[in-house]
Structure 1
Amino acid sequence: MSHAPATPLDRWQHWCDRRRAELSSPDSWLGLIGLIWLEPGANRVGSAPGSAVALPEGPAHLGDLVWDGSSAASLLWRPAPGSPAHIESGAESHTAGVDGIVLATDAAGAPDTVAVGDLRFFVIARDGKLAVRLRDLGWQAHEPFAGLDYFPFDPAWQVAAVWEPLAPPQSMEVPSVTGELKTVVVHGRAVFERDGQRHELLPMEEGEDGYFFVFRDLGAGRDTYGAGRFLRTAPPRDGRLVLDFNRAYNPPCAFTPFATCPLPPPENWLKIAISAGEKKYAGHG
C-alpha cells in the first residue's frame, strides 16, 4: 500500500512528477496538431485537399461530421464506406442510424473520440460553436518533450489568504486566447499581503472540490509564460485558504496554439513577481 509523501517538499515534488507524466503522455497537450471550427452542415474529414477537417495522413475521405448548427451537446459522425476509423469512449454503445452515429462533444463531459492509426479527434463546444481538436499520439517522434522547469520550492510562497465574501456577487469578464469574453459570477476573493502590500485574486471557478484562479504577475513574459498561469486551491475553510504558488502551472496554450485557454482578467494582474511554480516551457516557440 502506497503512502502520501510526508513533507511539503516531497508532496510538491510528487505534484511536479505527475505534471511531467501528464505532459509527456501520448494524449498530452503537446500532441495537439489542429483546432478546426465546424460549419453547419456536413464537414468532410480526410487527407484529401479541401477537406474541412484536414488529416496529415490516412484515407482521402474518412467520413463527415454533420452539425445542425445548434449548440447541442452532440452531432453526427457519418463514416465513409470502408472507413477504418472507430469510436473510443466510455459508452457501451452509440446510437446509429441511416444518417450517422451520434457523437458526444465535451459539453456533456468527456467527449467521444474518433480514432484512426495514431490520430485522434474529438469535438469541443465553446460559446455556441463547435470545433474539432486533432491529436497525434505519436507526437514525441516529431518533437520530443522538452521537460518542465520550476523555481526552487519555497515555503514562503505557500501564502495564507483571507477569503472575503462579496455581497452582492461580482461579475467578471474573462478573456480567452480565441478573443471571446466569458462572464463569470464571483462570490468572493482571496486577499493576501506581500512586502507590506495588499493583493487580491478572484476565482474563475468555485466548487466543493476546490477553487481555480487564472493570474498574471510581474514576472510574466520574463521567467514565466507571458499570458499568465493557473492555480488550484482547496476551498476556503474558516474564512481562509492557502495560495500555494509553488504549484502555479502553465495553461495549455503555453504548449500548443490549438488550445482555447482563459486569460487572466484585469482584476487578477498582480503587481508583484511570483518567483515560484512553473517557468516558461523551453520548447514553446
Structure 2
Amino acid sequence: MTSAQITDRAQFGREWEEWHRAHEARRADPHGFLAVTGLHWLTSESTSFDGIPGLWSTGPDGPVVDLDEGESLDVAGAPATVEYGFGPIAERDGVTVGFDGGVIEVAKRGGHDILRPRRADHPFLASYAGTPTYVPNPRWRVAARFEAFDVARPTSVGSAVDGLTHVYEAPGELVFTLAGEEFRLVAFPGRGPGDLLVLFTDATSGITTYAANRSLGVPAPDADGWTVLDFNRAVNLPCAYTDFATCPLPPAENRLPIGIEAGEKTPLSRVQADDLVGAPA
C-alpha cells in the first residue's frame, strides 16, 4: 500500500500511535537500553568493573568471569558462584546474566567482547519522558523496489565508537521515488525472515533529527520484489540516547540529499560518558 492508497488518515495516525507507543515501551523497559550504565571492553587481562561482580577477561574461548566468595551471577536461571566461561560469542550476538541490582549484557560488537550493565534504578531511565517525533503523514510512506545483488556484498560501516567497524552482508538495494526523484538505499538483513533494515541520514540530520543515523525496518519484499518504506517509522538507534552504545553508521550511499521530515527527532537528553576505558583504538 502506497501513500496514494491510504484514504483513512485518522486510522493511519491511530496505527502509527499504537506502533510508536509499543516502541517506546520496549525502549524504556527496566532492563532496556535506557538502563545501560556502562560500556566495558574485555581483554586478556582479568579486570574488575565498578558496580558488577567478578573479574572479567576474554580470549579464544570467549568471555570468562572469575567470581569471588560471596559473589554470584544468574546464568539462564542457575547461579554461577565460581569461574564461568561463556564460550565464543558470535558477532552482534550476546547473552544476558543477572546480578544483584540489574543485568549484564555479555556481547560481541565489531569483533570485540563487551559488557553492558543495565540497572532499573538508572536515573536516566527514571527521567525519560519520551522522544519527539514528526506528525505521521502518509506522504512519507512510499513503495520501494528491491534489487538484489547477485551475491550479498560485505559492507563495512563505521560506529558510534571511534575505531570500531561493523560488517554487514548487504543483500541488495531499495529503489524508491520521492517528489519525482529516484533514490537508492543499501539494505541490510532485518529481524525477521526476508525483512530488511535501512540505516540512513538525510538533510534533517543534525538539525531536527539525530546527526549520526536513523534506522528503518522494512517488510520482506513480495514475489515481485516490492515492499514499502514507511519513513514515519524511522527511529533512533541507542547511540542517540547514550555514549554506551556501539551503533553502526549508515553506508555512504545512504546519505540522502533530501529532508525526510518523518519519524523520530533528536532525543531531548542523552547519557554522556567522560571516558570509555579500553575502547578499541
TM range (shorter): 0.7 to 0.9
Check if 1:125 corresponds to 2:108.
yes
Contact 1:229–1:249 (8 Å) recurs in 2:
yes
Q: Deviations over 1:163-205 (max 9, x none)?
A: 1222354443211112323333323211111122111111122
Q: Give SS of 1:11's match.
A: helix
TM-score by length of 2: 0.82
Q: Which residue of 2 aligns with 1:50?
A: none
Task: State how many pairs are aligned.
Answer: 258
Structure 1 residues 59-208: aligned runs within 5 Å: 62-67=53-58, 69-70=59-60, 72=61, 74-83=62-71, 85-89=72-76, 93=78, 100-103=83-86, 107=90, 109-116=93-100, 118-140=101-123, 144-167=127-150, 169-178=152-161, 179-205=163-189, 208=193
Partner of 1:211: 196
Percent identity at matched positions?
A: 30
> Cα offset for 1:20?
1.6
How far residue 114 of structure 1 moved from its aligned partner, in angstroms, is: 3.7
Question: Partner amino acid for 1:188?
Answer: G
Q: Partners of 1:75 and 1:184 in 2: how far apart?
A: 23
Which residue of the other structure, out of 226, 229, 234, is the alignment partner of 1:248? 234
Tell me the alpha carbon deviations over residues 31-86 of structure 1, each in whole angstroms, 9 at most, x when there is no partner.
11111111203222xxxxxxxx122xx8xxx322243x22x4x4332211122x33
Whether 2:206 is the aligned partner of 1:221: answer yes
What whole-Å deviation, never above 9, does each CA across 1:208-257 have from its counterpart, x for those lacking one?
Answer: 25111100011001111011100001111121110000100000000110
Per the alignment, residue 239 of structure 1 pairs with 225
Letter in 2 for 1:77: V
Q: RMSD of the alignment, in Å?
A: 2.6
Give the 3 Å change call, closer, same or farther, for CA 114–105 of structure 1 in structure 2. farther
Q: Unpaired segments of 5 or more residues in structure 1?
A: 1-5, 45-52
**Could you list the runs of 4 or more consecutive aligned residues of structure 1 that deviate by over 6 angstroms after TM superposition?**
none
**Equivalent residue in structure 1 for 2:246, among 257, 260, 273:** 260
For structure 2, which runs of at least 5 residues remain unmatched after alignment?
1-9, 272-281
Alignment-mate amino acid for residue 17 of structure 2: Q
2:35–2:125 CA contact under 8 A, matched in 1: no
Structure 1's 190 and 37: CA in aligned 2 closer, same or farther, altered over 3 A? same
- Residues 88, 138 of structure 1: CA spacing in aligned structure 2 closer, same or farther, 3 A cutoff? farther
Q: For residues 18 and 245 of structure 1, do their structure 2 counterparts lie closer, same or farther at Cα, with a shift above 3 Å needed? A: same
Query: Which of 22, 25, 35 is the matching residue for 1:31?
Result: 35
TM normalised by structure 1 equals: 0.81
Counterpart Cα distance in 2 of 1:112 and 1:122: 5
- Greater strand content: 1
Structure 1 position 54 matched with structure 2 position 42: no
Q: Which has the larger radius of gyration?
A: 1
